[in-house]
Amino acid sequence: MSSTREKSAPVAGAWLHGVVRDVDPTMLAEITGMDGGPVRGVSAAGLVAVVSAAPLNEYGEEPLRHHLEDLAWLERAARAHHGVVEALAQRGAVVPARLATVHSDDSRVAGSLVECAAELLATLDRLTGRAEWGVKGYLVPGAVVRAGGSDGPGGVGTAYLRRRRAQLTARDEGQQAASAAADAVHTALGELAVAGRRHAPQDRRLSGAATAMVLNGAYLVDRPAVPRFTDLVAALGDRHPGIRLELTGPWPAYSFVAERPEPAHAVREPR
Angle, to 10 degrees, between the axis of helix 106-115 and the axis of helix 117-127?
Answer: 80
- Are 15 and 39 within 8 A, CB to CB? no
Q: What is the pLDDT of residue 5?
A: 45
Pick from 14-18, 142-146, 183-187, 201-205: least confident: 142-146
Q: What is the pLDDT of residue 271?
A: 36
Distance CA 51, CA 64 (A): 17
Distance CA 185, CA 213 (A): 14
Q: What is the pLDDT of residue 171?
A: 53
- The confidence band for 144, taking pLDDT boundaries of 50, 70 and 90, is very low
- Are 18 and 50 within 8 A, CB to CB? yes
- Are 169 and 144 within 8 A, CB to CB? no
Q: Is the pLDDT of residue 255 over 80?
A: yes
Q: Mean pLDDT for the chain?
A: 82
Distance CA 43, CA 142 (A): 57
Pick from 72-81, 107-116, 222-231: least confident: 72-81
What fold characterizes domain 131-255?
Answer: Alpha-Beta Plaits (3.30.70)
Residue-range domain boundaries for the chain: 2-128, 131-255
Q: Is the pLDDT of residue 39 over 90?
A: yes
**Each residue of 182-228: pLDDT tens digit?**
999 999 999 999 999 999 988 877 777 778 899 999 999 999 999 99
165 CB neighbour count, 10 Å cutoff? 10
Q: Is the pLDDT of residue 264 over 60?
A: no
Q: Is the pLDDT of residue 2 over 50?
A: no
Distance CA 67, CA 76 (A): 11
**Each residue of 114-132: pLDDT tens digit?**
999 999 999 999 999 999 9
Mean pLDDT across the stretch 60-75?
83
Q: Is the pLDDT of residue 113 over 50?
A: yes
Query: 99: number of CA atoms within 13 Å, CB side?
Result: 15
